Amino acid sequence: MLPRAGLLAVIIALVPLPVAAGDGGMQKKTPTIQVSMERMVARDIAGAPKSSSVARPARQGQGAGSSSGFFKTRPGMVALVVMAAGTGYALYSATHDRIHSAGKQ
């Protein structure tokens, strides 16, 4: 009983050591959210382009009705074929399952 009490006393004595080792008197004042936001806005404004009109890529300039759809392109067609093949295989494997359980019937 005495060794356990001694071990408990040592553990309890060691717990506050990391807190005491901290530099409590030399803490910097952390900036408030308002100050941080002002710094971020100032940095964004400083890095912004000088001209007021920003050139958009040509792809964004097209109207909604004039764009060719994704599924009309070669990668789009490949994606459709893969999805159709996966759906077909899922339906086939569901009906031709080799494991027959009583709960499935």
Please indicate whether residue 43 or residue 18 has the higher confidence score (pLDDT). 43
- Rounded CA-CA distance 89/83 in Å is 10
Q: What percent of the chain has pLDDT over 70?
A: 70
How many C-beta atoms surround the C-beta of residue 79 within 10 A?
A: 13
pLDDT digits (tens, 9 = 90+) for 33-64: 888 899 888 988 888 776 655 555 555 555 55
The pTM for the full model equals: 0.34
Q: 79 Cβ partners below 8 Å, 6+ apart?
A: 71
